[in-house]
Amino acid sequence: MKNFGFSEKEAIDKSEINAHWRIKLHTIIFEADTTAGKVFDSVLILLILCSVLTVMLDSVSSIRMRYGFYLGYMEWFFTILFSIEFIARIVTIGKPLRYVFSFFGLVDIFSILPTYLSLIVPGSRYLLVIRSLRLIRIFRIFKLTRYLSEGDTLLSALRASRYKVTVFLGTVATLVIIMGTLMYIVEGAEHGFTSIPRGIYWAIVTLTTVGYGDIAPKTVFGQFLASIIMIMGYGIIAVPTGIVTAELAGIKTRGMITTQSCPECSRQGHDSDATHCKFCGGKL
């Protein structure tokens, strides 16, 4: 009985040690309010910048011919480090699947997969520039919570205006199809409008006021239609801007948020006085 009691106590102590270790590691990896967390994130951002620079240099043929061997080793070095970091993030979270399928979780996964895929699909390693998305964490590191709050406000406005913008884009798509078809009929293949899709391409380029100039109408009626589309383009550009601006004006500014991360689901954006996660209910 004594041995059993000793073993049970030992198991409890071991569980407490593991829990303490997880909390401490979670604080370092996910929090930017401590010195250790800020150092970790700062080093991580430096590594991300170096890894992206390595990929960019490897795409230059003259540099790749001279230093390709070393750049390859550096690429694998960064990938292994980021793989270990990703595993550490999963280990320290109470609900790892929530993090894996979150925005930052997917970015972390796609930032290490290209190197492993390059063993099967040559050239896929250049997709490692996706790692630059991880630099978004710089807002958390330097406590720029005001920018995080404004980003949430903009995202809410875009989400609220999605139906209006969808209707607008549908109208524009119908318009360019009609105008592209008319230009195909009016101008014909002899003036570069060899098909309806080609005419639609021209209508999109003209309506958006880009104007590549690779094809242009030659007939009087075609130029008249082009003038109408150009004028419409200036008015159409302002429509989605007005829709989103109206939604922004109707959104109330949120209270101050912190950089604190939930130890269960790793979500951020909690109010400064919050004691529980508003996404999963975990204790902060």
- The number of beta carbons lying within 10 Å of the beta carbon of residue 270 is 19
Q: Is the pLDDT of residue 166 over 50?
A: yes
- The number of beta carbons lying within 10 Å of the beta carbon of residue 44 is 18
Confidence at residue 270, expressed as pLDDT on a 0 to 100 scale? 66
- pLDDT confidence tier of residue 219, bands split at 50, 70 and 90: very high
Q: 246 vs 88, which has greater pLDDT?
A: 88
Residues 72-103: tens digit of each pLDDT: 899 899 989 999 999 998 988 888 888 888 88
Confidence at residue 274, expressed as pLDDT on a 0 to 100 scale? 74
Q: Quick check: 48 and 134 in contact, CB under 8 A? A: yes
Confidence at residue 2, expressed as pLDDT on a 0 to 100 scale? 46
- pLDDT confidence tier of residue 147, bands split at 50, 70 and 90: low
Confidence at residue 151, expressed as pLDDT on a 0 to 100 scale? 61
The mean per-residue pLDDT over the stretch 29-42 comes to 79
Confidence at residue 92, expressed as pLDDT on a 0 to 100 scale? 87
Tell me the sheet residues that pair with 276.
283
Q: Quick check: 128 and 51 in contact, CB under 8 A? A: yes
Highest-pLDDT range among 104-118, 232-246, 254-268 = 104-118
Highest-pLDDT range among 58-62, 97-101, 173-177, 252-256 = 173-177
- The number of beta carbons lying within 10 Å of the beta carbon of residue 39 is 12
- The number of beta carbons lying within 10 Å of the beta carbon of residue 138 is 15
Confidence at residue 197, expressed as pLDDT on a 0 to 100 scale? 93
CA 180, CA 177: separation in Å to the nearest integer?
5
Q: Is the pLDDT of residue 13 over 70?
A: no
Element of type H or E holding 160: helix 145-160
- The number of beta carbons lying within 10 Å of the beta carbon of residue 60 is 12
Could you tell me the two tokens for 214?
């690779």
Residues 105-128: tens digit of each pLDDT: 888 888 888 888 888 877 666 677
Q: Is the pLDDT of residue 242 over 60?
A: yes
CA 89, CA 82: separation in Å to the nearest integer?
10
Taking each helix axis as running N to C, give the angle between helix 35-58 and helix 61-91, from 0 to 180 degrees, rounded to the nearest 10: 150
- Percent pLDDT > 70 in the chain is 78
- Percent pLDDT > 90 in the chain is 17
Q: 172 vs 118, which has greater pLDDT?
A: 172
| H, E, C per residue of 99-145 | HHCCHHHHHHHHCCHHHHHCCCCCCHHHHHHHHHHHHHHHHHHCCCH
- pLDDT confidence tier of residue 1, bands split at 50, 70 and 90: very low
Q: What is the mean pLDDT of the chain?
A: 79
| Three-class SS state of 271 | strand
Q: Is the pLDDT of residue 145 over 60?
A: no
Residue 229, CB-side half-sphere exposure with 13 Å CA sphere: 30
Q: Is the pLDDT of residue 49 over 90?
A: no
The mean per-residue pLDDT over the stretch 52-65 comes to 86
Confidence at residue 140, expressed as pLDDT on a 0 to 100 scale? 53
- pLDDT confidence tier of residue 6, bands split at 50, 70 and 90: very low
Cα dihedral 27, 30, 35, 38 in deg (nearest 10): 170
Q: Quick check: 232 and 206 in contact, CB under 8 A? A: no
Q: Is the pLDDT of residue 130 over 80?
A: no
